Chain A
Amino acid sequence: MPSIIEPSDDVDLRRYPYATTLNNEFALFTLANRLPGTIDRLLLDSSIGRTSWSRLSKIRESLISQGRVPPLEQNPFFDEAVWKHISGSVKSWRSAPFINFEYYLYYKVLEATGSYFHLEPTEPTKEQWILASGDQSSDPFKTDKDYPAIGGNDKYWSAIEAAAKLRWKKPKKTQLKEAVFSSLYNNQRDASQLRQFNINFVHSGESRSDDLIKVDHSAHLVDALLSPETSRIDIVSDNFYHEFVSDLSLAETIIRTAGKKVNIWVKNVPSFVSDVTITDWERLKKDLLASPALSECFKSVLDPSFFSVRSARHLDTHLSFSDALYPPQGIAPSAPLQELFQHSHLIIIKGDLNYRKLVEDRLWEPTLAVRKTIDARIFCVRAVKSACVVGVDESEWPVTLDMLNASLPSLKNPRPDYNMIIQEFR
């Protein structure tokens, strides 16, 4: 089965192996620094640390040793065949594909903190799972998702309301472009980095990071959004809080200016620290509906006839988007998984991880020519946080894999400014 994105010419994929800690410095940095740091934060949490110290501490130890991976003990909701594939995918932190061990680590953390016991299927679509009663208390990463109270005195929501109203007065194309860039900038500033950076919501039109935007197909994206051939748009979301609010704002702008249907895809389980889950959306939606002013600003994304937020189980797995459409051998095809993107005319992939799930997390040469194998137009909007980039034109960003690696966080430089791209795969 073809991948959604594949090399234009016949190339031997063995030349581009999957990223692992053995061949990729950023993967090694993640294993040695970022992931133990994430567990440290949980251990210091007065509630989680107290109840889960022993389990989390053992996971941390195994990470530090970079050797054997403690086996998963619980299957939260996956089909048996999918679960076997997941649970058998990582034996050693060192040799496992980077994307697999990242997911695996978060499974272990969720298992260790007891989150799986708070998951409940929602009716009528059994595909969606939610933390019971919308209660966030069992989300170990909840502190990274606390947004300012709506209706309080905080300036956060007032500024978003004011920016939205200001944007409405501008031409359609300008509105869309601003919404796209706001969505990009806020990907760079995800909530999981709150402790490293003084992060604020970036409204549209701010161009202070322009020199970091290496590939800019935003004009194509705006044209595609307004094109009469586009009627359904799918956005695969990344982080909650600033970024998700900007994604909602983008969806709202698309619906209001272009009259298209928009669907945002999110996860079921709260992995990857600040990733959006269906529970996060339910909570935010309830709060937005309670505020007349914000309900007005986000009117179209609160209208189910044009907008929906859906979760898919395969977003909770390390499987690539191609795997989801064409399940690998041994995994039974699952209708809801195949539904992802099936009716889409335009797909916007947000964030670093989703990019890797689209193109596969290999050590690509960034300028290697690739093509897409599905009809829908595909745009990726991301800050480049890992060394996975492919299909960029040399005239736009003449980057090599070595140059890319040098620009990423490392033990010497843990907080670089991220390069950003708005890339279309043709």
Chain B
Amino acid sequence: MTNVALDRRIEQCRTSGGRVLRLSELPDLRSLPIEKLSKPLRATVSRLSARKCGLESLDGLELFTGLVELKVSDNRALKILPEVIASHQKLEILDISSTDTGDFSFLRFVDLDYLSVRGLSLAALAADIRHSKTIRFLDVSGGRDWTPDCGEAIGTLTSLEFIDLSDVEGIVDFSFLASLPLLRVVRLDGTQVRDLRFAKNLPLLQGLTARKTLNLRSLSGIEGHKALQLLDLTGSAVRDLYPVRKLEGLAGGESKSPGLLGLRLSEPFPEPRLAAMIKRHGDATHDETTKTKAIQVYLEGGPYRIRRTWDDLVLSWKFALQTDAAVTRDASLKLVATFTPFLIASVMALFPMDFLWKVFLYVVAFACLFAAWLLNYRVEKQK
């Protein structure tokens, strides 16, 4: 049966142009079927996938001289020696997830575009990954033995567009993500992420998932991300949706899944399309009785608020104090500017004074209100 299936795959490779050989999911392959492949075919194959097929060795891989892509994930017994990979200078795409690989020194010799090392020990990664300056896709999800050095090394990969850190234990500091300006998708499911401050420095961000993140309470940091189309917070501790209220791009993802907050929130409430969309998701409802003040959105068991409560404001203020000096300064000035007119009004009510003094204080009060409005605009823009 295996031979018939294998022969069929090889024939398919040959008839489709000889570039792509797909051996994935053929049972008990153990080794590459070099003897069944003609020499000319071995020379033309540039993409080879042999996932989940019981591979134990890559003997003969050197005969594929034009290899651009190699995907051999989910072969638990496969130990990949660095020299086997390093000899393929044209290699751009490499997936060695869920194999028995712990040495990444090949990264010093090949310029990869895509690297997936899902489920592997990351202890040795930090020393070698910093050489991959061209890499755009990195999947280290489920990785073990994370060290701060790994974050520091990944933070130097300025070409990265996609990173998956899901289920990596031990990441405390996510600030290294802020130094990756080309990131378009960030996956943080099942991590200890506490906030999304890093997102402020990611102008191209289109997708962010943070499922099952029990420590994530605030979305501050993603305001103003017009490109954001996908935000999945299922199972997080976030309840305050205020920061995403103007992100119209999220509407693009609305049909993907109930857990995905593809919400269009830019309209004044009540927002009929939002209500209709929530109803469409089936397992979500919204509270009609409070629609003029706030809409409570329930998605996958959790209530979300679009209008801020006092707790949210306190949390937001604390966050601002922790994060950004400029925002904090402006927010503080805004507070002063807002309350000064009230103070002036009180003084004018309590103490009789000359007409000129009154005019002067009126001017000061209006100036303060104008300053407060300007500062509010700046704070929102900075966010």
Within 8 A of A (CB), among B197-229: 206-207, 209, 229
Is B164 an interface residue when CB atoms closer than 8 A count as contact? Answer: yes
User: Quick check: which of B11-19, B283-291, B352-360 contacts chain A, the rest being far away?
Assistant: B11-19
Is A147 an interface residue when CB atoms closer than 8 A count as contact? Answer: no
- Minimum CB–CB distance from B300 to chain A (whole Å) comes to 16
Specify which of A44, A58, A114 is in contact with B230 (CB 8 Å cutoff): A44
Name the A residues within 8 Å of B252 (CB-CB).
Answer: 41, 195
CA distance in complex: A74, B256 (Å)? 30
Interface pair A49/B229, CB less than 8 Å apart: no
Interface pair A50/B139, CB less than 8 Å apart: yes
Interface pair B136/A54, CB less than 8 Å apart: yes
Interface pair A53/B136, CB less than 8 Å apart: yes
Interface pair B113/A54, CB less than 8 Å apart: yes
Interface pair B229/A40, CB less than 8 Å apart: yes
Within 8 A of B (CB), among A39-73: 40-41, 43-44, 46, 49-50, 53-55, 57-58, 73
- Minimum CB–CB distance from A401 to chain B (whole Å) comes to 32
Interface pair A116/B255, CB less than 8 Å apart: no
- Minimum CB–CB distance from A423 to chain B (whole Å) comes to 33
Name the B residues within 8 Å of A41 (CB-CB).
Answer: 252
Name the A residues within 8 Å of B113 (CB-CB).
Answer: 54, 58
For residue B44, which residue of chain A has the nearest CB? A73
Interface pair B114/A53, CB less than 8 Å apart: yes
Is A75 an interface residue when CB atoms closer than 8 A count as contact? Answer: yes
Specify which of B47, B206, B273 is in contact with A44 (CB 8 Å cutoff): B206
Q: What 1/0 flags go to B230-248 for Cβ under 8 Å of A?
A: 1000000000000000000
Interface pair B16/A74, CB less than 8 Å apart: yes
Given contacts A54-B113, A117-B22, contact A74 B17 (CB under 8 A): yes
Interface pair A75/B16, CB less than 8 Å apart: yes
Name the B residues within 8 Å of A116 (CB-CB).
Answer: 16
Is B185 an interface residue when CB atoms closer than 8 A count as contact? Answer: yes
Interface pair B114/A54, CB less than 8 Å apart: yes
Name the A residues within 8 Å of B19 (CB-CB).
Answer: 73-74
Interface pair B17/A73, CB less than 8 Å apart: yes
CA distance in complex: A247, B253 (Å)? 28
Given contacts A43-B185, A49-B185, contact A73 B46 (CB under 8 A): yes
Is A143 an interface residue when CB atoms closer than 8 A count as contact? Answer: yes
Given contacts A44-B229, A54-B137, contact A76 B162 (CB under 8 A): no
Specify which of A40, A46, A54 is in contact with B206 (CB 8 Å cutoff): A40
Interface pair B256/A143, CB less than 8 Å apart: yes
Interface pair B184/A43, CB less than 8 Å apart: yes
- Minimum CB–CB distance from B70 to chain A (whole Å) comes to 12
Is A194 an interface residue when CB atoms closer than 8 A count as contact? Answer: yes
Q: Report the tally of A-B residue pairs with Cβ distances under 8 A.
A: 62
For residue B161, which residue of chain A has the nearest CB? A57
Is B41 an interface residue when CB atoms closer than 8 A count as contact? Answer: no
Name the B residues within 8 Å of A58 (CB-CB).
Answer: 113
Within 8 A of A (CB), among B251-265: 251-256
Within 8 A of B (CB), among A89-138: 114, 116-117
- Minimum CB–CB distance from B121 to chain A (whole Å) comes to 21
For residue A116, which residue of chain B has the nearest CB? B16
For residue B16, which residue of chain A has the nearest CB? A74
CA distance in complex: A43, B162 (Å)? 10
Name the B residues within 8 Å of A195 (CB-CB).
Answer: 251-252, 254-255
Interface pair B136/A57, CB less than 8 Å apart: yes
Q: What 1/0 flags go to A187-199 for Cβ under 8 Å of B?
A: 0000000110010
- Minimum CB–CB distance from A207 to chain B (whole Å) comes to 24
Name the B residues within 8 Å of A44 (CB-CB).
Answer: 185, 206-207, 229-230, 253
- Minimum CB–CB distance from B51 to chain A (whole Å) comes to 10
Given contacts A117-B12, A198-B273, contact A53 B161 (CB under 8 A): yes
Q: What 1/0 flags go to B1-26 for Cβ under 8 Å of A?
A: 00000000000100111011010000
- Minimum CB–CB distance from A325 to chain B (whole Å) comes to 27
CA distance in complex: A117, B12 (Å)? 8
Name the B residues within 8 Å of A57 (CB-CB).
Answer: 136-137, 161
Interface pair B137/A53, CB less than 8 Å apart: yes
- Minimum CB–CB distance from A52 to chain B (whole Å) comes to 9
Is B92 an interface residue when CB atoms closer than 8 A count as contact? Answer: yes
Name the B residues within 8 Å of A75 (CB-CB).
Answer: 15-17
Query: Could you list 27 A-B pairs, sorted by A, with CB under 8 Å?
Result: A40-B206, A40-B229, A43-B162, A43-B185, A43-B206, A44-B207, A44-B230, A46-B209, A49-B162, A49-B185, A50-B139, A53-B137, A53-B162, A54-B93, A54-B114, A54-B136, A57-B136, A57-B161, A58-B113, A75-B17, A116-B16, A117-B22, A143-B255, A143-B256, A195-B251, A195-B254, A198-B273
Given contact pairs A49-B207, A53-B162, a sample of 10 additional A-B residue pairs in the complex whose CB atoms are under 8 Å apart = A41-B252, A44-B185, A44-B230, A44-B253, A49-B185, A54-B137, A58-B113, A73-B47, A75-B16, A194-B255
- A residues near B (Cβ < 8 Å) are 40-41, 43-44, 46, 49-50, 53-55, 57-58, 73-76, 114, 116-117, 143, 194-195, 198
| 6 smallest beta-carbon distances between A and B, as pairs | A54-B114, A73-B19, A53-B137, A74-B16, A54-B113, A44-B207
